[in-house]
Amino acid sequence: MTICCSNRKRLLADDSIHAAFREFAERGQSEHQIAVGRYVLMPDHLHLFVCGPAEFKLDQWTRMLKTTLGKKFKELGCEPEFWQRGFFDHLIGNLESYSEKWNYVHQNPVRAGLVAQAEDWPHQGEIVIIDRV
């Protein structure tokens, strides 16, 4: 899925935002079995792979993520209107598709001219290995 900042604000590529995101995702995994796999925080948008149990509601989870990071933005003194409405999601049907999508997402910082090699981008990672689709 992709979540975008309002008006292309460059809010996400920040160590404290990255830490808040990881904390949110790790808590979701331990408390609710909502798995965030690989992710990349770009300056103005976030790409991530997420899955959860049958009762998992992506829109509700996304609102909670936006609220959590929004509180962190306020602490950092960012001006409100942090998020674009909604999010973009894509259902992945097999491991090959997951790999293709990850390769595209992983290269985003290179295509944006932020780093020479994707591995050098500090605002990316993997919370849990998603080995099923």
Q: What share of the chain has pLDDT > 90, as a percent? A: 68
* Confidence band of 131 (pLDDT split at 50, 70, 90): low
Is pLDDT at 73 greater than 90 in this prediction? yes
pLDDT at 77: 92
Q: Model confidence at 116, in pLDDT bands (50, 70, 90)? A: very high
Residue 128 to residue 133: CA distance in whole angstroms: 14
Cβ atoms < 10 Å from Cβ of 122: 12
Domains and CATH numbers, the chain: 2-126 (3.30.70.1290)
Q: Is pLDDT larger for residue 17 or for residue 91?
A: 17
pLDDT at residue number 133? 47
Tokens representing 67? 């609220």
Confirm if 21 and 116 have CB atoms less than 8 A apart: no
Residue 83: alpha-carbon gap to chain centroid: 13
Sequence-distant (6+) residues with CB within 8 A of 127 are 22, 25, 26, 29, 35, 36, 37, 39
Q: Residue 127 in contact with residue 36, Cβ under 8 Å?
A: yes
DSSP 3-state percent helix, strand, coil across the chain (nearest 5): 45, 15, 40
* Structure tokens given for 2: 């992709």
Q: Whole-structure pTM over 0.85, yes or no? A: yes
DSSP 119: G
* Tens of pLDDT, residues 60-72: 999 999 999 999 9
**pLDDT tens readout for residues 75-115:** 999 988 899 888 877 767 666 677 888 888 999 999 999 99
